[in-house]
Structures are given as C-alpha cells and as structure tokens.
Structure 1
Amino acid sequence: MKGKIVVTLFALPFFAVGVWMLWSISNTLFDAWRMQDWAAVEASLIRGGYESNSGSDSDTYEAYAEYSYSYGGERYVGDRVSLSRGGDNIGGYQQETGRRLQSKAASGSKILVYVDPGAPHDSIIDRRVRWGLIGFKSIFVCVFGGFGLGLLIFVWRAAPEKDASRSEYKNSPWLLNENWQTATIRSSSKTAMWGAWAFAAFWNLISAALPFLVYEEVTRKENYLALIGLLFPLVGLGLLVWAIRRTLEWRRFGAAPVTLDPFPGSIGGHVGGTIDLNMPFDPATRFQLTLNNLHSYVSGSGKSRSRKEDAIWQDTLVAHAEPGASGTRLLFRFDVPEGLDASDAEQGGSYHVWRLNLNAELNGTDLDRDYDIPVYKTAMQSRHLSDRTVQKARAVQSVIDDASVGEIIRIRQHASGRQLVYPMGRHAGPSLGGVLVGAIFAAAGWYFAVEEGNRIFGGIFGGVGTLIGVFCLYLLLNSLEVSKQAGNIIAVRRLLGIPVSRKQMHQNSFERFEKKSTLKTQSGGKHIIYYSVSAIDRQGNEIVVGEGFRGESEAKAAMRLIAKEFGLREVSNRDLSHDLDAVSGNPLAD
C-alpha cells in the first residue's frame, strides 16, 4: 500500500496538468461557441500593443488593448483581446495582433468588437479559435494527463504486493511474479503493440505543430534552415507505420503463449516447451528461437538516468514445427550451462532476466515475439519433450551454424598445411557504427574544449570518443590467420596486413576449447553476442583460434570445424586421469 501511495502522489501532478489544460481548451471552445451570437459594434481604441516577458528558457508575448464602445445607449470600456487570456509564443499571433492594435490606436481608427447582448459589459476583439494553441494545449492533455491517468490506473489495478518472506515464495520465488503462476506464459507482444501506439501518439502530438511553424519561418522569414524541423513529423509517420505493423502482427498470430517444460526453466538443465501458433502448418517455414540471459540495470544519474540491458549468455536453435490444435505447434529445448544468474521475479533496480525470442520471416507480416520467462537453478530436465524431436531440431540448427561458420572462416591450403583466415572487415557493421559514435563524441569534445573553453568536460568527451574510435577501427582493420605447421597450431594477428602478434601451441599439448564473449550489439530489445574461440593447453596457456561467431551454437560449430581441420581432440577428465596414472605408475590404471 505504501508503494501505491508514493506512485499516486507522483502521478497526481501530471494528471492535474492534463485536467487543467483540458478545462482551458473546453472553456475556450465554449466561449467561441457562445460568442457567435454576440453583436458587432464599432469601438474607439484608447491604447493597444503587446508586452514581452523574458523567462529562463524563452520569451512570451501578450497583446493588450483598451477600447470604449456604446451599446443600448450606455457607454462601456473593455480590454479583452482574444479567447485565450495570458501570453504565449505559439506562432506570431500575439506580436502581429499587438502591432495592428498599436497602429490603429496611433491613427485613431475605429475597430470592430463583439458585445454580449445579455451582458454588454462583456466584449472581445477577436473571437476566432487559435487552433495552433489548442493543439499545443492538447499535447499536455494527452502526454501529461494521459501519463498521470495511465499510471494511476496501473498502480491501483495492480495485484497486491506479495510477502517474499513467506515459505512458499522462498521455495518457489518465481511465484512472486503474477505472470509466472503457471507454466503457460504470454508474450509481451500486446504490451509492445500498445506501447508502440502510445509512443507514436506522443511523438506525433509533440511534432504536430511543427509543419505550421516551419511554413511560417520559411514563407515570412525565409529561414530555410527551419526545414530540418520537418524531420520530426517524418519520424512520426515512421512510428505510426511501426505501430500498425505491431498491430497486424498481434492480429495475425494472437496471444501465442509458451508452455514451459520444465517449469520453471532450469540453469544446469533444460529450458524447453511448446508454442501454439494461430497459423496453418507449413513444413517449409523456419522458426528461429533465441534464448538470452540479460542483466538489466539503471545507468547515469539525475535526468540522464536510463535503463540498459547487457547480454550475458545467448543460444539459438530452430524449433521443431508440427501440426497443432491451433494450426502450428512448435517444440524446442535449450541446454543451459551452470554458472548463470537466475531470473528476478520482483525486478528491482538491478536484476537478471531470461528472454526468449521467436522469429520467422513470412509472407506479409513477420512473426516476432518476446517472452520473459522464469529460469532458476533447479537442474531440472524436460519430461514431455521427445528426445528424437529435440535432436532433429538441433541437427537442423547445426546445419545452419555450419553454413554460417563457413561464411566467416576462409579455408586455404598452402604448402605446410591448412590455414583458417578471418579477414579484415568481418565486423564491418558494428565497427563503422562505433567509429561514427566515436567521431561524434570526439567532435563534441573538441567543441567544448576549443569553442566553449571547458577543457575538462571536452577532454572527457574527446577521450571517450577517441578510445571508441580507435577500438572500432582495430576491429575493422585487423585479421587473424590460424594454421598448423609441423605439429604446431600457429595464430598470427595482422593489422592492415602487417603482423602484430604471433602465438603457437603444440598439437599434443592441446587440452580443450574455450569460448568467450568479445563483442555485444543491441538494436531495440534484440541482442547479439559475438564469441571468440580459444585453444587451451595443459599448462593453461591459450591462443585465439577463431572469432566473430554469433551465439553459443555457432561458436560450438566453429569448435567442431577447427578441431576437424587441425586434427584436435578435446581431452576429457578421464583422459587426464589416465595420463596422470600412467606417469605415476598406478597399477590400477585401465
């Protein structure tokens, strides 16, 4: 209850701003409606003009006037100029009206005012509705009022907080999350759809007035640089397209929940289950599943605070598809290694989340679903999934991984044996993006240091930008050559074709392969982990023999290829024990 009260106190000011702006709009429109029957009367302008008020962020203007008129044999004095009272800087209405009134007052010209026949002391000069101002106020109604109202509805409709100290939650912590009460878990697609519409509406409301302001800047002031402002409405159109696509995806495939087996998913065991899709079964359609272990945390401070995600582990496989009650049923099972962090049911400031993504390229709307699922350290195995079905799906994934690895590694034959080449430019996309980001940071640092004289701030920006740029240039311009010569595995690193490092390991001392995540990229909620593969000898020395592999399954495929090309065999614990026994002369060996 305490949390609900705090959130309510936070939401009420936003809701109040929306209500206030809604009242202002309603009052303006009501006044415009009732003034349509007011009588037009000539008036003498006593004074007129506009006042400017300087604020911390911008200046506002307010047109003023004082005029006298006669109605029904009585003389009255009025000062109302327009429907909206107070100053603003929406367009040039206030300045233009003020200048016109000032000119009329100086020349002694008559003006036309509108008088309420039932209350002649009420009058106005301009009874037209300023739709630009109405639109501006509507932004506050929708954004502030909508946010406040939505937050109030969310917090008071939310399930009551659960006591994590109770025994049933200590034994089954995933039950603290209302979405994890059963093995059947819905995707976040519907939430994403409404979120897309909310963000598209917010953006378009914010930028709705820009075309009119740009038109005024270009036609009246010949400020053609203002045309850049049209980019914001164009982005708004793109967001509307995005929201429509999310809606079409939801309508086509429906809820499509995942049913986990085991429940919850298991670290050191299996994460598996079934997904029923509302679409006809087509054996040619390939459904890709990606399982991510993510760390979600808050970065920055103050106004710069934002939530970020870091991918810790990732694996990909092709789901087995078969006819189902709803049309198509998907079956899948991941083998999850030990040592990973479990899901956090309460998801506080910093927590870990397991996310399952389902993706398929189809005619028309593509399938793209995310499921946040419970995965805990239970070491449980799937009980209802056929091993034959799972192995069949894994075999299909292995073929895909082998083909992907074949595109990454160039195999050459030379006089001394086989050579595996990882050429320059293999990380072209992420590297060029990083170089661009680094250049922007470095340019900002130069501007702050040289133009603004802020050397500390500029030095930080410039230093960070330079480091990012140099690192990404290295990723782009380096290459790796791995070969087997006279029983030695040799790895040569080159930069622009020039050797910069050389490592080697004797084939007979090789013990095992080891994979490490070396590069992570993120686009929206989609993560990609790139792995490198190292060869480890019995003394613990290592050399990198492969890199640039997407996901764990692709890294494993690379290990198989490298082992095959160089005739390497990983040494098991039993092999090591046998070798030690042989050295010590243990008569029980074998």
Structure 2
Amino acid sequence: MPHLSSNKIFSQSAKQFWQTWLFAFIWNAITWFAIIKGGHNILRAFEENPVFYFFVLFPFIGLWTIIIAIQQTLAWYKFGKTPVILNPSPGQVGGRCSGYITLPETAKEAKRAILSLSCIRSYIYRSNDGKSSQREQAIWQDQISIRPEKYGRKRTRLNFVFKPPANLPATEQESDDYHLWRLQVRIPLPGIDYDRNFELPMEKPDEQIVVTHRYAQTQTSSTIAHRETKAGSIPQINKTSAGTEFYYGYGREKVMAIIIMLFGLGLAVLGYFFFHDFLNFLPVTAGLMVAYIGFIALALFLLGVFMLANSLTVEVSLEGIHNNKTTHLWLFT
C-alpha cells in the first residue's frame, strides 16, 4: 500500500528493471553454463531426438530478456523518478482523484498522454490440486487522453482528474484478498515511450470533505479525443437490482491474443518440419509427436480466439463479486 503520509507517489520502475536484470542474468548464466559444460551431450541429444531442438530457443529467450532490461534501464534514466503528486491526498472514492506529473525535458515532444485509473482486486487463487497463484481482476476502470502542457522553460506537466464512483472499495493493506488502485500513464514519444504504473492511496472521505472539494477549483490539462482506445478496456456501468454491473466488451487483450495465436501457428509449423522426415521409418513415434504438438498448437490458437471474442460481465453486490464471460463467435463469420 502506498505511504499515506505523503502526497508524492513513486512508480515501481526502478525495482522492475533491477528485477528484469536479475532474471536475465540467472537465465543466461544457467543456459550458457549448460551449453559450455554439456556441448557434446547436447549435440548427441539433438541427433537422437529432434525434439531437443526446442532448447535452441533458450539463448534467444535470454537475449530477449537482456533487450527488455536495457529498454527498461534506458527509460528509467531518460525520464527519472517522475512521481505523481496527489491533490487531495489520499484520492477520494466518490469524490475525485486528481494531481499532476512533472516530466523532464526529454518529454518535451509529447503530443498526448493516455491515463488509465483502475480499481483492482488482488487475491490468491487456490486450485483443486492445492496449487496457488496470485491473480488480479479489474472491477472498474476509467481512461482519459490529455494534452501535456509546458511547465517552466524545459519541463512538461500533466494535470489529471478522475471521479471514481462511491460504491467502490478504498485502498486496502496487502493480504490474500485485497483491493488496490493503479494509475497507468502512457506517453508516445520518439524512441522510448513513457509508460509507468503508480499504486495510489484511495479512501472513502467524509461527506463534508467531498462537498468541500466539489466547490474547489481543480486544474486539469485539456482533454483530447482518444486515438488509441482498446476495445472493451473501459466498462459500461449499469445499476441492477442486486448491485452494480460492469460490462467489458470483446477485444480487451487484443495484442496478447494475437501473439498467442501466432505462437500456436508457429509451433504447428515447427513440429511439422521437425518430424516430417521421420514419418517414413518411425511412423508411430513421429505420428504421436506430431499429434501431441498439434494438439498444443491448436489449444493455443483457440485460446487466442477466445481472448479476442469474449466479453466479461462483473456484478458487484452484497453477496460478493460474480463473473460471466460470453463468447462472440460471430466476429469470425
């Protein structure tokens, strides 16, 4: 939970790029240690079973992690800390969440900024086999596009205001099931874009405080039309007899869905070329491997289709939170 004694909120960018460097170092160290120490055994394994060619991807994954770490490091040193200054602090659920971000000279070419405020439920999911994983679920989201303003001689400032509904939960302490508020700020720029997440302290204020702030003047940057709104990323909010319903349209995770579909297709092509020559003298073994890889590729492709074509309805009531997903297969007809 963000520190409530200050209205200055920092992102986790510095921590994230160090974690990425640590992961990249461990992955590459293990991969290249295995290649150097077991080079002959690896080549022999390739000759005996072509399925081991999948391990050729490991050095490329290591290279990819290094590239991501370099990008995150360059972004950090390009923009610096750039904290969010909240006013009022904490933000108000049922009132307003407002403040500003001051950017350095490196962001002077910014034409627009896309800000998204989300109320997120973070919880531990436990499966039937006893395994547990941390999951997040957005129960409310609002998104605005604003025009950055010149501040001083060389800097740029973003002034923002959100008005979250009063029926949403405040920021809670971390536990197995808690709520948090996240502000994402994205600014397209030449070279490296500005893209950071901030966890904001939000509270339910007294009615007197809310009324007072309604008459207070809030400085905001000029709002501009969205040029890059993700389909279904902003919910339609409806009041029902049971509580409040949030409807998210299809196409919420378009980029990830397309990546998964392409990976499934690539896996199918790779499996076919690997085992095609073995079908003549090892028909049963090669056929089983092709069927196995084909099944995985088909499952990945269908998962991508499902991610593209499903909508999500979340109903928040006194009985809890209920989810309902609907698949729109007519999009592909």
Please give the TM-score of this superposition, normalised by the length of structure 2: 0.64
Query: What residue number does 1:331 align with?
Result: 159
Q: Which residue of 153, 171, 176 maps to 1:343?
A: 171
Query: What residue number does 1:59 align with?
Result: none
203 and 219 in structure 1: CA distance in 2 versus 1, 3 angstrom threshold? closer
Q: CA deviation at 1:181?
A: 1.8
Q: Show CA shifts across 1:458-497 (max 9, x none).
A: xxxx9xx99x969956974x9xxxxxxxxxxxxxxxxxxx
CA contact (8 A) 2:185 2:195 kept: yes
1:58-137 residue pairs with structure 2 within 5 A? Answer: none
Query: What residue number does 2:272 align with?
Result: none
Q: Which residue of 18, 39, 46 maps to 1:215?
A: 39
Cα distance in 2 between the residues matched to 1:187 and 1:286: 20
1:119-158 residue pairs with structure 2 within 5 A? Answer: none
Q: CA RMSD in A?
A: 4.1
Q: CA deviation at 1:211?
A: 2.3
280 and 385 in structure 1: CA distance in 2 versus 1, 3 angstrom threshold? farther
Q: CA deviation at 1:335?
A: 1.6
518 and 433 in structure 1: CA distance in 2 versus 1, 3 angstrom threshold? farther
426 and 322 in structure 1: CA distance in 2 versus 1, 3 angstrom threshold? closer
Cα distance in 1 between the residues matched to 2:198 and 2:113: 15
Q: Which residue of 291, 295, 308 maps to 2:135?
A: 308
Query: What residue number does 1:269 align with?
Result: 95
Q: Does 1:188 align with 2:12?
A: yes
What is the identity, as a one-letter code, of the residue corresponding to 1:215? G
Cα distance in 2 between the residues matched to 1:181 and 1:287: 28
Q: Show CA shifts across 1:528-567 (max 9, x none).
A: xxx99xxxxxxxxxxxxxxx9xxxxxxxxxxxxxxxxxxx
Q: CA deviation at 1:435?
A: 8.2
What is the identity, as a one-letter code, of the residue corresponding to 1:367? Y
- Is the partner of 1:209 in helix, strand or coil? helix
1:566-577 residue pairs with structure 2 within 5 A? Answer: none
% identical aligned pairs: 30
Q: Show CA shifts across 1:499-518 (max 9, x none).
A: xxxxxxxxxxxxxxxxx954
Structure 1: 5+ residue stretches without partners: 1-176, 406-423, 441-461, 479-515, 520-530, 533-547, 549-590
Structure 2: 5+ residue stretches without partners: 232-249, 268-294, 315-324
Q: Does 1:226 align with 2:59?
A: no
- Is the partner of 2:70 in helix, strand or coil? helix
Q: Which residue of 200, 203, 206 maps to 2:30?
A: 206
Q: Which residue of 188, 197, 202 maps to 1:361?
A: 188
Cα distance in 2 between the residues matched to 1:331 and 1:185: 15
Cα distance in 1 between the residues matched to 2:263 and 2:21: 29
CA contact (8 A) 2:110 2:189 kept: no
Cα distance in 2 between the residues matched to 1:246 and 1:470: 29
Query: What residue number does 1:296 align with?
Result: 122
What is the identity, as a one-letter code, of the residue corresponding to 1:361? P
Q: Show CA shifts across 1:117-175 (max 9, x none).
A: xxxxxxxxxxxxxxxxxxxxxxxxxxxxxxxxxxxxxxxxxxxxxxxxxxxxxxxxxxx
CA contact (8 A) 1:320 1:332 kept: no
Q: Show CA shifts across 1:227-256 (max 9, x none).
A: 321212211111111111111010000000
Aligned residues: 258
Q: CA deviation at 1:217?
A: 2.9
Cα distance in 1 between the residues matched to 2:63 and 2:177: 35
- Is the partner of 1:179 in helix, strand or coil? coil
Cα distance in 1 between the residues matched to 2:204 and 2:148: 28
Q: CA deviation at 1:384?
A: 5.6
CA contact (8 A) 1:358 1:369 kept: yes
Q: Show CA shifts across 1:254-313 (max 9, x none).
A: 000000112111111111101011125646521111111110011126873221111111
CA contact (8 A) 2:78 2:106 kept: no
CA contact (8 A) 1:294 1:309 kept: yes
The range that moved more, 255-264 or 178-187, is 178-187
Larger radius of gyration: 1
1:295-444 residue pairs with structure 2 within 5 A? Answer: 295-300=121-126, 304-325=131-152, 327-344=155-172, 346-378=173-205, 380=210, 381=213, 383=216, 385-386=218-219, 389-390=220-221, 392-393=222-223, 396-397=224-225, 400=227
Query: What residue number does 2:68 align with?
Result: 242
Q: CA deviation at 1:361?
A: 1.6
Please give the TM-score of this superposition, normalised by the length of structure 1: 0.38
278 and 434 in structure 1: CA distance in 2 versus 1, 3 angstrom threshold? closer
